[in-house]
Amino acid sequence: MGAVVEVKYFNSFVLKKVATADNNIMWNGSDGIPSNVAGGYPVVNVVGGSNPNDWAIEEARIRGGYNNTSTDYGAKAYLVEDEPNAVTRFNTLIYSGIFNSRTGINNTNVFSTADDITKSADPANGSVQKLYAEDTNLVIFQERKVSRALVDKDAIYAAEGGGAVTASNLTIGVIQPYAGKYGISKNPESFAIYGYHKYFADKENNAILRLSRSGIDEISAINMKDFFRDNLNNLNTTAGVGSVLGAYDIYNNQYVASLQQYSAPTVIPQVYNTLSFDESIRGWTSRYSYAPQVMFSLGANFYSVQSTGGVLKLWKHYDTRASRGNFYSVNGGANVTFILNAEPVRSKTFKTIGYEGSNGWKLLSLSSDATGKNLNPSNSALEMYFDQSSGINSYYEGEYAFNTNGVAIPRSNYALATGNNPPGFGTINPPVPRYYAGFNRKENRYVSNLINASAPMPGEIIFGEAVSGIKGYFVTGVMATDQTTNNGGEKQLFSIESAYTMNNGY
């Protein structure tokens, strides 16, 4: 039994009424349309139309003009399949006919089943997530593999295994995989390109990758393997699927990746890590306190898009008119985590902390390496113990003076205590001696002693403020900018140091 062919006829015109400058009514540029006035043909408003100037009319002449060219019924023939089935070919590329603007040929809507217009990649590597055309090659990113397809050429292989590229009439030639079992998972949003470097994330392998002429390199393994293993592996939660947003920052020449985890149906992630990779030093240089919806470079500038107050806004980064550390109208400041690990095999007592740089840095925390699990007799729990110091205010935050009653007045309360209102953080009048409970300064070198703030270990008699400094093989600390000194301005940090003494084996 043959296929059933049905033919339908179409001959509908939608006309729009337009008022000209002299208030004459024009119908699609023609004034020869019959109207709904007495003696004319009825004109019916489009059913459900919101614009009263839009009308539908039964007409057999082009533009509806008197004695204009008449139209015939247009035929549209199509096949009726008894069992219409659709097939999703997730690993297959398909291309249409050619488009040539010079000759007027446009076959982009022609997909002839008589021609070989498909090219399939290995289905074992998952679906095709991203295509990127580079010169005369097509880079294909599947979930578990990255390949390149030759365009308008093909590869011929000899019996010995050698190959040569030759001209061909194939639109998409042979698909050649790159070495390594890497793909782009289901995160095509992580793709970014600069020059011949293409960056993307493989969440299934917990890796951030770079594709260049030399092949695929795992740049997340450069001193950051544990970080990306933990964070990429935990992106997907029961509340939603996380994303890895990538872009190339042309201003700083860095690849920026934002790992975003969603715990609620919102465009702003609750947990995120945004960080950058710098090719010049082959390392991950910074972490940022912003999570964008979109990132891109344009010209010499870097932009992102995020919602503020429920309104999507375009934000320009590195603009000197904005406060430093201010992202999406939120001042997050900046902080640096550091490790002091001189003579790592010797136990030491760290007595002081100092840094070289700008005024306006404070110590948030400083702690030693932790012990092994110890039994706490008070609650029978196994706990880790370590030494830690109190935080240290910045130079201005820790400044104070004594009033006439001998009461210590912080710098922030000078005007309230003396009745004077000096400009900014200027000196009070009359001047009085000032002291510093935080960092003290000498020639842009800031130092402070360390005040122990450790909880007592089992069996420990002297602890806390009764102990000088903190004890350990190494210490980990966090320096942060304050919001008192030149808030939003530039603050530099060159080096961090500590004076320590060796312990006698315990």
- Gap between the Cα atoms of 396 and 379, Å rounded: 42
Any residues with CB less than 8 A from the CB of 398 and at least 6 apart, and which? 392, 436, 437, 438, 439
Residue identified by tokens 């409970």 is 437
Q: Look at the alpha carbons of 372, 378, 380, 381 in this order and tell me if their dihedral is positive or negative.
A: negative
Q: Is 491 exposed, middle or buried (0-12, 13-18, 19+ CB in 10 A)?
A: buried
- Gap between the Cα atoms of 349 and 475, Å rounded: 10
pLDDT at position 33 is: 45
Q: How many CB atoms lie within 10 A of CB 284?
A: 21
Any residues with CB less than 8 A from the CB of 438 and at least 6 apart, and which? 362, 392, 393, 394, 395, 397, 398, 399, 448
**Token pair belonging to 472:** 């350990």
- Gap between the Cα atoms of 39 and 36, Å rounded: 8
pLDDT at position 367 is: 94
Which SS3 state, helix, strand or coil, does residue 7 take? strand
Residues 197-254 have pLDDT tens digits of: 999 999 999 999 999 999 999 999 999 999 999 999 988 888 778 899 999 999 999 9
pTM: 0.73
- Gap between the Cα atoms of 8 and 428, Å rounded: 92
Closest CA to 448 of 351, 341, 327, 357: 351
- Gap between the Cα atoms of 154 and 172, Å rounded: 8
Low-confidence residues in the chain, pLDDT < 50? 9-11, 18-20, 25-51, 54, 56, 157-161, 163, 416-427
pLDDT at position 506 is: 58
For residue 501, report the phi and psi dihedrals to the nearest 5 degrees: -125, 150
pLDDT at position 28 is: 45
Q: How many CB atoms lie within 10 A of CB 204?
A: 18
**Token pair belonging to 95:** 């291309």
pLDDT at position 87 is: 80
For residue 226, report the phi and psi dihedrals to the nearest 5 degrees: -65, -40
Write the single-letter amino acid at 288.
Answer: Y
For 132, 164, 356, 489, the CA distances from 137, given in Å and listed in that order, are 9, 15, 51, 47
| Cα-Cα end-to-end distance for the chain | 96
- Gap between the Cα atoms of 93 and 102, Å rounded: 27
* Kind and range of the H or E run holding 280: none
